[in-house]
Amino acid sequence: MRKTIAVLFVLLLGTMFLAGCWNSRELRNLAIVVGIGIDKIPNSEQYRVSFQIVNPHGASEGKARGSSSGEAPHIVYTSVDYSIFSALRKTTQKVPRQLFFAHAQLLVIGEALAKEGIQELFDFYERSHELRLNTSVAIARGTSAESVLKVLTPLTTSDATAISSRLKITSEIWAHNVDQDISSIIKQLAGGGEPAISGVRIVDSNSTPTSNLELKGIALLSKGKLAGWMDGRTARGAVWALNQMKSTNVNLDCGEMKNGISIEVIRSSTKVRAHVVEGKPAFTIKVKEEGSLSEARCSIDPGSKEAMLKLQQQLADETKQEIELAVQAAQAKKSDSFNLWAELKRTQPKLWERIQKEWPDIFAGCEVKVEVEAFIRRTGMRGKTFTQPQD
């Protein structure tokens, strides 16, 4: 009797296997999405979502490149619907395979959509178990996200990968852009501040397919809506303020020659302090950085102490200016893109509770002091320049 029960039990369990496997997906049936672009249809509530999919035939790094001649390394599909998830599923009408998102590297937001606000876009990312929270984000500048995704780039299999790796690299060595991923954006949006997102631009959009993409500028958002852009020195100031500065090259004046000396910033750390002045919040941004002399187009003798001190001071001033530019630009747009709210919340939680709702306005008016301490540690392989000082 016991044996029959056991056998029945096992048989019952065995029926599990008969029904098939529900979650198994063959690689052949997957379309691997590496980039997602979201645009808004003008005058409508619908999103236009684009998916950049890797073409597996042309994608293998190991095989000879271009063996299947003329095949594009990636393909872009678009669909229109009220929600991102619907658009995603709708795309299956066009794509012969099932879309697979776990490897999406980049999210591009169209500028028009960014102007209307980006807050609603991220719940889908949070809730899904396939999408990764460390996907890079960029805002398409002067164009739509779809066009950005459609651009082909050399040297990589897909430009979504290209952009995201570019973001990573350039934010670390040129520092005019930031590499923000979705989790930090959500942290910002949920907390009361604004995320700072890099912009991407198409250069020379006339000749396809070899048009090129360029990362340009940092977006200023106010209440989740695109309010303006920071470019050039302002953008770099923002990177400093965000404590994301890893390395960059600063041009300083040398005597009469403008931008004659270049200092490579090697290390930089920023600390933000919040205090209350007359019931209103005030911040001090303290930067401490180190650099080394990278290029001197005028003649300079680093051996002399005054020359070096002067250079250091110049570097500090330049940094301070850039940060101040960034802060002013942000305050003009009521956009706390520098995480100042987090510092305030941590040190003055009661004050934060009170002013949280009007933070963008208060931020625009609060006092921000910048203090920079710069050191120049090394001068490279040479000391004194070989050019003679011009008299």
Partner 1 sequence: MSKSSAISPTQLFAMIILFEFGTALVLPIGLTSAQNSWLSILLAMPAGMIFYWLLMYLHRRYPALILSAYIRQIVGPYIGLPIGLMYGIYFMYISARNLREAGDLLITTSYDQTPIVIVHAAMIATVIYIVHKGVQVLFRLGEIYIIFIIALGLLSDMAVLLSGTIEIRDLLPIWGEGVGPTLRSAYPNIFLFPFAEVITFATVLPHLKQNQAAGKIGMLAILASSVMLSMTHAIEVSVIGKDMYSRSTFPLFTAITTVEVAEFVERLDALVILALIIGVFFKMTMYAYAATSIVADVFRIKEMKQMAYPIGSTIFLVSIMSAWSFPEHGAEGTKSFTTIQPIFLIYIPVLLFVVQLVRQKFSRPSS
Partner 2 sequence: MFFNNSNRSRSTLDEHKGDTQAAQAPKQIAASLESNIAYIVQMLGDSPDIVIRRFEIGADKRQVAAIYTDGITDKQTVSQFILQSLMSDDSFDPAPGQSLLDYVLARTLAISEICAKSDWDGILLALLSGDTIIFIEGCTDALCGDTKGGEQRAVTEPSTQVVVRGPKEAFTESIGTNVALVRRKIKSPNIRLEAYKIGSITQTNVAIMYLEGKADPSCVKTIRDRIHRLSVETLEGSEHLEELLSDQRKTAFPTIMNTERPDMVTRNLLDGRITIFIDGTPFTLIAPFTFFKGLISAEDYYQRPESAFAVQALRYAALIIALFGPSIYIAAITFHQEMIPTPLLLSLASQRESVPFPAFLEAFLMEVTFEVIREAGIRMPRAIGQAVSIVGALVLGQAAVEAGIISSAMVIVVALTGISSFANPSYNLATTIRIIRFTMMVAAAIFGFYGIAIFSIFLIGHMCGLQSLGIPYMSIRYPYVPEEERYTLYGLRLGAGGTHAQGQAAPQSSEAPGKTTDGSDP
Site for partner 2, rule CB under 8 A? 16-17, 21, 23-28, 30, 32, 34, 54, 56-57, 59-63, 100, 102-103, 105, 130, 157, 161
Q: 157 vs 244, which CB is nearer to partner 2?
A: 157
Given partner 2, partner 1, none, residue 27, with its beta carbon under 5 to 8 Å by kind, binds: partner 2
Write down the least CB distance from residue 309 to partner 2, Å: 48
Write down the least CB distance from residue 181 to partner 1, Å: 8
Report how far residue 247's alpha carbon sits from residue 48's, in angstroms, rounded to the nearest whole number: 37
Out of 22, 28, 69, 207, point to the residue binding partner 1 (CB under 8 A).
22
- Please state, as a whole number, how many other Cβ atoms lie within 10 Å of the Cβ of residue 217: 23
Given partner 1, partner 2, none, residue 61, with its beta carbon under 5 to 8 Å by kind, binds: partner 2
Query: Please, what's the b/e burial string for 3-36 (b: 16 or more CB within 10 A of its CB; e: otherwise)?
Result: eeeeeeeeeeeeeeeeeeeeeeeeeeebbbbbbb
What is the footprint of partner 1 within residues 95-114 (CB under 8 A)? 102
Residue 102 pairs with which residues in a beta bridge? none
> Smallest Cα–Cα separation from 116: which of 242, 268, 246, 226?
226
Write down the least CB distance from residue 125 to partner 1, Å: 11
Write down the least CB distance from residue 236 to partner 2, Å: 30
Given partner 1, partner 2, none, residue 96, with its beta carbon under 5 to 8 Å by kind, binds: none
Report how far residue 333's alpha carbon sits from residue 344's, in angstroms, rounded to the nearest whole number: 20
**Applying CB under 8 A, does 276 fall inside the site for partner 1?**
no
**Applying CB under 8 A, does 183 fall inside the site for partner 1?**
yes
Write down the least CB distance from residue 82 to partner 1, Å: 22
Given partner 1, partner 2, none, residue 337, with its beta carbon under 5 to 8 Å by kind, binds: none
**Applying CB under 8 A, does 155 fall inside the site for partner 1?**
no
CB-based contacts of 123, cutoff 8 Å, min separation 6: none
Choose one: 143-151, 253-261, 325-333, 340-348; the region binding partner 1 (CB under 8 A): 340-348
Tell me the torsion sign for CA atoms 143, 144, 145, 148: negative
**Applying CB under 8 A, does 129 fall inside the site for partner 1?**
yes
Report how far residue 114's alpha carbon sits from residue 135's, in angstroms, rounded to the nearest whole number: 17
Given partner 2, partner 1, none, residue 287, with its beta carbon under 5 to 8 Å by kind, binds: none
CB-based contacts of 257, cutoff 8 Å, min separation 6: 297, 298
**Applying CB under 8 A, does 126 fall inside the site for partner 1?**
yes
Given partner 1, partner 2, none, residue 88, with its beta carbon under 5 to 8 Å by kind, binds: none
Report how far residue 140's alpha carbon sits from residue 154's, in angstroms, rounded to the nearest whole number: 20
**Applying CB under 8 A, does 13 fall inside the site for partner 1?**
yes
Residue 319: exposed, middle, or buried by beta-carbon count in 10 A (0-12, 13-18, 19+)? buried
User: 């980006």: which residue's tokens?
Assistant: 118
Q: 72 vs 173, which CB is nearer to partner 1?
A: 173
Size of the site for partner 1 (CB under 8 A): 24
CA 146 to chain centre: 18
Out of 133, 152, 266, 351, point to the residue binding partner 1 (CB under 8 A).
133
**Applying CB under 8 A, does 9 fall inside the site for partner 1?**
yes
Given partner 1, partner 2, none, residue 57, with its beta carbon under 5 to 8 Å by kind, binds: partner 2
**Applying CB under 8 A, does 64 fall inside the site for partner 1?**
no
Which residues of this chain interact with partner 1, rule CB under 8 A? 2, 5, 9, 13, 16, 19, 22-23, 102, 126, 129, 132-134, 181, 183, 186-187, 190-191, 342, 346-347, 349
